């Protein structure tokens, strides 16, 4: 288990069961984990906690993931935050759109947990260095 | 009132007309035509209402009661009933470039010159007295307003100066362009404006009399009723009264079509055939409006001037003057003035074209010296002839007024003119509906009718003015009692006008008919006859349907055109024509179609008969036998039939293409929906799949997970698997509904039972969540036809949705069911989250998420509602929702009892 990270990770998804697995995985890697069930909750946490990495679903009630991503990348004190889209939308056009709104990574659902953990860890070490 | 002031007012008014006409001409030059407007067209037709209407109607109403109306009912009937005839005449004139009634008749009967001359003379016979009548009205009204006696010395007679101004106006706006087919936009606009002015003026006096001097219509009629004289106004007298109505209305119908000025505005100045549709109701409306106050004014005049010698023709002026309302009298004067000037201007333009084209031009062309002159500068000569004719006509009218009309009332002159113009009816109607009508028949009819007209109407007027002895009236012509002008062949019991109408038309029609049957048409006559009668078949391919054979040099024809149209214009027109008809003009001899077309262009300028003469002077024409004409026309008609069929086929093809396109579009749409559905479903499937995969991988990789956590993860995996399989079942289900594979097997069902069963099966879940389910069910509901499992499916879907969205331990679900209006109604009401308005329709749609790609619909409603909707549709029922966010939702469905 890595202990090098004292890094805040925010997970945004409206599916409680997906949150369940993601929360487990991230906590196991030693991140400080925050949970939001929709875009509005996400805004609050981002403003308050300034997480370094955000795992973001796209299709959500009220405010969608694109909006959240634009908010992060548009804010002066949040634009360094890494955004990882995790979405069941997996068409090429969807992925392109994800990157176009400023995402750092786009992982289609369903994902491989090992692969996801590896990528987030790499990203976290980038954040640290 | 001072006569100079009134004179100035008249001049100002004419100046105003100048400005209106000038502006309109200017606009039309800038291609912003005012006249291409159906309202202007309809209003210009109201040139029909002259000073005779303005002053004379009231006069006539005073002496003959409601009889005056016949003159206005006629045109109204034409607009309603005979507009196809009007349309046909307009179409013929447009395609043949005819510019007057004289041209029309002479063209139909073989472009015959003498017919053109005869029609022109008849028009002069009707037009000159009619113009005189207008001048008389102007003069009388002027005299009454200024309380002066008309001076017999021309130079101090103000009417003379008005005549000069009118000549100037007419020349200015009537002869700007030598091509008479080109419309006189300025003139038409001025006429339309005049129509409005005279209507307003007449309304002003009408309202003044009816509501100011009296207390409304009823008051006038009541007071008039007390007077013996007025009472007879409303009685149609016996049979003679009825026959009078018939003949006068018929007469007015024909006059409305054939009076030179009407032909001018209705046919020649028509910009677009469609405008007739507007005129169809607008013109009759105008007729109604301008007649509303006639009767009240005439009765009021009778009451006010009871026992005094006041000319009833001038009541509209005398009444306001009697009460010293001078300004109103001036308004009335202007109205009458505008009615009179409008008539004079249009009538003069119309007749001047006829006079110069049909009388002067052929004469000039016949004299070698003057023909030289025409060849030298034709458009100047034509313009001069037009202007000369205009001046001549108005002056003739003036002299007629000065020396003859003093003795007659306005109406009698008008009606006399109507009768002579009606003589055109047999030749025109026969000409456009009967191919057999011949030139000799037309000539015989016209001459015969005119002679009878002269005998029955003009001779009596000559007698009464003392020119002839009255022996002819009492003893008859040559002492023959059968030949009395007012009692021809012993016919009595009719008024003079009806009597004359009957006999003139009787002889005219008979001569035309039998004359036509007894004579033969020449080839050109037959050609024209076929074109006129079948104009709607030929109007497109008219260039090809005119038969002509002969030799003419292209250069000759061109130079003929150039002298009238100018070199550059000729070049352009010829090029366009050649391209359109694929004719090679670089040959020595001209193509027959080209010769024809040139003749038509010329006839637009100099009239049919003159154009004929000009073309034949440069062309060597060969006679074509009648049989050949018939043969060729038949062929071209066959060609046209084939053409028509082709056109129809291509139209069908076009329609088919459109249908295919629509079908294709629909397929595309369906395809898109299918795509949307697929992407929605994949997304829905991936969500539980993601949880299952992630949690399984976690369990696989982490042996050290605590027992309780492991149990939680495994339980979640199981639940998500259930969700997945439920979803797959729903998709399959929906697919079955969509493709129509689902057949409802109906049996007799008890709704109450079904509701109870569905509540039973969900009760445990509700209890776990701490939610109460209340049922209010009408016990007396009848049974209905349906499939039990399907209705159960709907109920379960609604109930589980309600459960999902109500708050645990707090929420309440109410089910109500009852019968109303032959349907069973079920409501499932919750007090949960509610659904925002924009989503309420969408939740029954399986593609709901696709409309709103990234914002998710309320969790978990899945495809259940879409399926429920399909199920109810199969039961002829409906489903809907009412909801308010935060307060709850009410889902309702109904099933009709068969």
Using the Cβ of B691 and the Cβ atoms of chain A, whether some distance falls under 8 Å is answered with yes
Within-domain flag for A83: yes
Claim to verify: residue B532 and residue B553 sit in the same structural domain:
no
Q: What's the confidence (pLDDT) of residue B858?
A: 47
Alpha-carbon gap: B741 to the closest alpha carbon of chain A (Å): 31
Q: For A59, which of B692, B695, B856 is closest by C-beta distance?
A: B856
What percentage of residues in chain B have a pLDDT greater than 90? 10
- pLDDT tens readout for residues B883-894: 888 888 999 999
Domain end: B622, B642, B659, which one? Answer: B622
Please name every residue paired with B701 in a beta bridge, in sequence order, or none if there are none. none
Please state the domain count of chain A. 1
Q: What is the DSSP string of A21-58?
A: HHHHHHHHTT-EEEEESSHHHHHHHHHHH--SEEEE-S
Is B715 in CB contact (< 8 Å) with chain A?
no
Q: Using pLDDT thresholds of 50, 70 and 90, give the confidence band for residue B83.
A: confident
Q: Does residue A35 form part of some domain?
A: yes
CA distance A59 to chain B (A): 4
CB < 8 Å to B856, chain A: 14, 59-61
Average pLDDT for chain A: 88
- Which of the two residues, B1 and B6, has the higher pLDDT score? B6
Whether A118 has its CB under 8 Å from any CB of chain B: the answer is no
> CB burial class (10 A; 0-12, 13-18, 19+) of residue B670?
exposed
B-proximal residues of A, 4-43, CB under 8 Å: 14-15, 17-18, 20-22, 24-25, 28
How long a stretch of residues is chain A? 129
Do residues B521 and B565 share a domain? no
Contact B817, B752 (CB under 8 A): yes
* Residue that the structure tokens 């249009």 belong to: B346
Cα nearest neighbour of A18 on chain B? B691
One domain for residues B318 and B465: no
Token couple for A89: 């939308």
C-alpha dihedral, B73 to B77 to B79 to B85, nearest 10°: -140
Minimal C-alpha gap between A69 and chain B (Å):
13
Kindly report the nearest CA distance between residue B721 and chain A, in angstroms. Answer: 12
B440 & B407 share domain = no
DSSP state of B225: H
Shared-domain flag, residues B884 and B760: yes
Domain annotation covers residue A2: no
Peptide bond into B178 cis (omega under 30): no
Burial class (CB in 10 A: 0-12, 13-18, 19+), B608: buried
Q: What Cα–Cα distance (Å) separates residue B833 from each residue in B772, B801, B848, B889?
A: 16, 11, 19, 8
State residue B853's pLDDT score: 47
User: Is B227 found in the same domain as B312?
Assistant: yes
Q: Which domain holds residue B867?
A: 747-896
Residue A106, classed as helix, strand or coil, is strand
pLDDT at B400: 83
Question: SS3 for B811?
Answer: coil
Q: Are strands B747-749 and B784-786 parallel, antiparallel or unpaired?
A: antiparallel
Q: Is A95 on the interface with B (CB under 8 A)?
A: no
Predicted pLDDT at B850:
40
Domain of residue A113, residue span: 8-123
Task: Determine the pLDDT at residue A24.
Answer: 93
In whole angstroms, give the CA distance from residue B709 to residue B355. Answer: 114
- CB distance B473 to B463 below 8 Å: yes
Inter-chain touch A88–B687, beta carbons under 8 Å: yes
Q: B424-433 and B523-533 are packed helices; what angle lies between their axes, rounded to 10 degrees?
A: 80
Mutate to test the interface with B, among A1, A26, A55, A113 (most CBs of B within 10 A): A113
Beta bridge partners, B878, equal B894
**Structure-token pair, residue B76:** 């109204």
Say if residue B812 is in the same domain as residue B872.
yes
Q: At B415, which CATH number?
A: 1.20.1730.10
Range B752-757 average pLDDT: 91
Question: Stretch B600-606: mean pLDDT, rounded?
Answer: 73
Say which range, B228-242, B390-404, B464-478, has the weakest mean pLDDT: B228-242
**Mean pLDDT calculated for residue range B471-492:** 71
Q: Are B383 and B175 in contact (CB under 8 A)?
A: yes
The last residue of one of the domains, among B504, B539, B574, is B539
Distance, in Å, from the CA atom of B114 to the CA atom of B221, rounded to the nearest integer, reads 54
Is residue B852's pLDDT more than 50? Answer: no
Predicted pLDDT at B734: 82
pLDDT, mean of residues B445-470? 82
What gap in Å lies between CA B447 and CA B866, rounded to an integer? 86
Is the pLDDT at B241 greater than 70? The verdict is no
Q: Are residues B732 and B775 in the same domain?
A: no
Q: What's the average model confidence in pLDDT over B459-475?
A: 73
Q: Does residue B231 surpass a pLDDT of 70?
A: no
* Residue B484: Cβ within 10 Å count: 21
What pLDDT score was predicted for residue B634? Answer: 62
3-state secondary structure B626-672: HHHHHHHHHHHHHHHHHHHHHHHHHHHHHHHHHHHHHHHHHHHHHHH
pLDDT tens per residue, range B555-576: 777 777 777 777 777 788 777 7
Q: Are residues B165 and B240 in the same domain?
A: yes
Q: How far is CA B625 from the centre of its chain?
A: 42
pLDDT above 50: residue A46: yes
A112: which residues sit within 8 A by CB, 6+ positions away?
Answer: B693, B697
Mutate to test the interface with B, among A12, A14, A20 (most CBs of B within 10 A): A20
**Domain-embedded: residue A73:** yes
Q: Where are the alpha helices (DSSP H) in B147-233?
A: 158-174, 185-207, 217-225, 228-231
Residue B428 clears pLDDT 60, i.e. is over it = yes
Query: How far apart are the CA of B669 and the nearest CA of chain A, in angstroms?
Result: 20
Q: Does B855 contact A60 at a Cβ distance shorter than 8 Å?
A: yes
- Asked if residue B463 and residue B498 are part of one domain, the reply reads yes
Strands (E), B322-413: none
User: Which of A25, A60, A91 comes nearest B698 by C-beta?
Assistant: A25
Average pLDDT over residues B617-633: 61
For B729, the token pair is: 């079942």
pLDDT in tens, B650-698: 888 888 898 889 888 888 877 877 777 777 788 888 888 999 999 999 9
Domain presence at residue A19: yes
Give residue-wise pLDDT tens across range B773-817: 999 998 888 999 999 989 998 999 899 888 888 888 888 999 999
Q: Give the other-Cβ count within 10 Å of B867's Cβ.
A: 24
Averaged pLDDT of chain B: 80
A107: buried, middle or exposed (CB in 10 Å: 19+, 13-18, 0-12)? buried
Residue B148 and residue B316: Cα distance in Å, rounded? 18
Contact present, B262 and B48 (Cβ < 8 Å): yes
Q: Which CATH number belongs to the domain containing residue A65 in this structure? A: 3.40.50.2300
More confident residue, B133 or A4: B133
- Decide if A71 is inside a domain: yes
**Tally of domains within chain B:** 5
pLDDT (mean) for B340-364? 86
pLDDT tens, B296-308?
A: 888 888 888 777 7
Cα B674 from chain centroid?
Answer: 49
Give residue B76's pLDDT: 85
Interface contact A48, partner B, CB < 8 A: no
**Distance between CA B627 and CA B529 in Å, rounded?**
14
A83 falls in which pLDDT band (50, 70, 90)? very high
Q: Which of B738, B762, B796 is the endpoint of a domain?
A: B738
Query: What's the mean pLDDT in B176-197?
Result: 77
Whether residue B576 sits in one domain with residue B515: no
**Where are any strands of DSSP class E within B724-798?**
747-749, 772-777, 784-786
Stretch B457-479: mean pLDDT, rounded? 73
d(CA B43, CA B279): 8
Instruction: Establish if A50 belongs to a structural domain.
Output: yes
| Count of C-beta atoms within a 10 Å radius of residue B671 | 10
Same domain, B575 and B651: no
Mind listing the pLDDT tens digit for each residue in B353-407?
888 888 888 787 777 777 777 666 777 788 888 888 999 999 888 888 877 666 6
Q: In whole angstroms, give the CA distance from residue B24 to residue B554.
A: 38
């Amino acid at each position: 288990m890595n202990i090098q990270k004292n890094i805040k990770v925010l997970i945004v998804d409206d599916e409680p069961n997906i949150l369940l697995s993601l929360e487990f995985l991230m906590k196991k890697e030693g991140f400080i984990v925050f949970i939001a069930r929709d875009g509005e909750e996400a805004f609050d946490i981002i403003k308050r906690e300034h997480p370094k990495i955000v795992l973001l679903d796209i299709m959500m009630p009220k405010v969608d993931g694109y909006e959240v991503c634009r908010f992060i990348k548009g804010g002066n004190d949040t634009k360094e935050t890494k955004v990882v889209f995790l979405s069941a939308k997996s068409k090429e056009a969807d992925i392109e759109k994800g990157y176009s709104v400023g995402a750092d990574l786009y992982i289609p659902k369903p994902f491989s947990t090992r692969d996801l953990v590896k990528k987030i860890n790499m990203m976290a070490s980038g954040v640290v260095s | 009132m001072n006569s100079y002031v009134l004179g100035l007012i008249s001049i100002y008014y004419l100046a105003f007309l100048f400005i209106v006409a000038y502006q309109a001409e200017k606009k039309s030059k800038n291609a912003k035509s005012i006249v291409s407007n159906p309202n202007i067209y309809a209003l210009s037709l109201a040139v029909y209402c002259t000073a005779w209407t303005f002053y004379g109607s009231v006069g006539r109403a005073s002496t003959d009661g409601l009889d005056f109306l016949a003159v206005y009912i006629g045109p109204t009937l034409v607009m309603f009933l005979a507009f196809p005839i009007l349309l046909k005449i307009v179409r013929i004139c447009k395609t043949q470039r005819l510019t007057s009634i004289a041209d029309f008749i002479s063209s139909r009967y073989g472009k015959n010159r003498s017919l053109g001359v005869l029609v022109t003379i008849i028009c002069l016979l009707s037009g000159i007295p009619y113009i005189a009548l207008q001048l008389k009205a102007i003069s009388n009204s002027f005299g009454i307003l200024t309380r002066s006696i008309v001076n017999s010395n021309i130079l101090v007679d103000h009417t003379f100066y008005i005549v000069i101004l009118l000549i100037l106006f007419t020349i200015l706006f009537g002869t700007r362009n030598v091509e008479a087919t080109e419309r006189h936009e300025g003139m038409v606009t001025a006429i339309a404006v005049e129509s409005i002015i005279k209507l307003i003026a007449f309304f002003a006096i009408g309202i003044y009399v009816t509501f100011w001097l009296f207390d409304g219509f009823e008051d006038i009629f009541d007071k008039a009723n007390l007077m013996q004289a007025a009472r007879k106004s409303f009685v149609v007298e016996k049979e003679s009264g009825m026959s009078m109505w018939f003949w006068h209305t018929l007469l007015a119908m024909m006059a409305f079509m054939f009076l030179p000025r009407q032909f001018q505005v209705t046919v020649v100045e028509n910009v677009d055939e469609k405008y007739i549709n507007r005129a169809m109701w607008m013109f009759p409306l105008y007729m109604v409006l301008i007649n509303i106050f006639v009767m009240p004014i005439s009765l009021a005049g009778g009451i006010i001037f009871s026992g005094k010698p006041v000319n009833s023709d001038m009541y509209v002026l005398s009444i306001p003057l009697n009460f010293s309302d001078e300004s109103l009298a001036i308004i009335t004067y202007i109205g009458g003035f505008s009615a009179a000037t409008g008539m004079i201007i249009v009538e003069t333009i119309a007749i001047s074209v006829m006079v110069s084209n049909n009388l002067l031009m052929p004469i000039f062309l016949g004299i070698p010296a003057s023909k030289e002159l025409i060849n030298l500068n034709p458009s100047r000569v034509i313009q001069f002839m037009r202007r000369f004719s205009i001046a001549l006509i108005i002056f003739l009218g003036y002299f007629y007024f000065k020396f003859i009309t003093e003795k007659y009332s306005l109406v009698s002159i008008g009606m006399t003119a109507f009768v002579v113009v009606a003589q055109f009816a047999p030749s025109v109607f026969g000409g456009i509906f009967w191919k057999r009508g011949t030139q000799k028949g037309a000539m015989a009819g016209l001459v015969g009718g005119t002679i009878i007209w002269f005998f029955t109407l003009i001779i009596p007027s000559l007698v009464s003015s003392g020119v002839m002895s009255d022996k002819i009236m009492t003893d008859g012509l040559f002492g023959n009692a059968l030949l009395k002008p007012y009692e021809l062949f012993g016919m009595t019991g009719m008024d003079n006008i009806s009597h004359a109408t009957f006999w003139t038309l009787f002889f005219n029609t008979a001569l035309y008919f039998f004359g036509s049957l007894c004579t033969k048409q020449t080839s050109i006559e037959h050609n024209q006859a076929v074109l006129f009668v079948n104009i709607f078949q030929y109007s497109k391919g008219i260039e090809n349907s005119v038969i002509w054979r002969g030799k003419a040099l292209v250069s000759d024809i061109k130079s003929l055109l150039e002298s009238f149209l100018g070199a550059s214009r000729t070049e352009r027109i010829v090029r366009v024509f050649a391209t359109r008809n694929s004719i090679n003009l670089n040959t020595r001899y001209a193509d027959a179609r080209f010769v024809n077309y040139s003749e038509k262009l010329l006839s637009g300028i100099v009239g049919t008969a003159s154009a004929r003469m000009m073309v034949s002077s440069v062309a060597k024409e060969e006679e074509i036998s009648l049989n050949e004409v018939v043969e060729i026309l038949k062929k071209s008609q066959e060609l046209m039939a084939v053409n028509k069929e082709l056109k129809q086929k291509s139209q069908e093809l076009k329609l088919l293409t459109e249908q295919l396109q629509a079908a294709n579009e629909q397929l595309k749409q369906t395809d898109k929906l299918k795509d949307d559905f697929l992407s929605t479903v994949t997304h829905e499937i991936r969500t539980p799949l993601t949880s299952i995969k992630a949690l399984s991988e976690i369990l696989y990789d982490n042996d050290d997970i605590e027992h309780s956590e492991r149990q939680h993860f495994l339980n979640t995996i199981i639940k998500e698997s259930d969700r997945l399989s439920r979803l797959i079942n729903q998709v399959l289900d929906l697919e079955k509904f969509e493709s129509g594979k689902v057949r409802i097997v109906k049996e007799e069902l008890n709704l109450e039972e079904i509701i109870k069963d569905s509540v039973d099966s969900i009760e445990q879940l509700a209890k776990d969540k701490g939610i109460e389910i209340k049922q209010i069910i009408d016990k007396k509901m009848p049974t209905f036809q349906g499939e039990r499992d399907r209705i159960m499916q709907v109920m379960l879907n609604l109930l589980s949705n309600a459960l999902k969205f109500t708050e645990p331990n707090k929420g309440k679900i109410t089910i109500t069911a009852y019968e109303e209006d032959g349907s069973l109604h079920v409501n499932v009401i919750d007090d949960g989250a509610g659904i925002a308005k924009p989503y309420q329709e969408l939740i029954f749609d399986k593609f709901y998420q696709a409309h709103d790609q990234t914002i998710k619909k309320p969790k978990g409603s899945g495809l259940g509602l879409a399926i429920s909707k399909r199920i109810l549709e199969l039961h002829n029922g409906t489903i809907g929702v009412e909801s308010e966010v935060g307060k709850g939702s009410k889902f309702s469905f109904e099933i009709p009892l068969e």
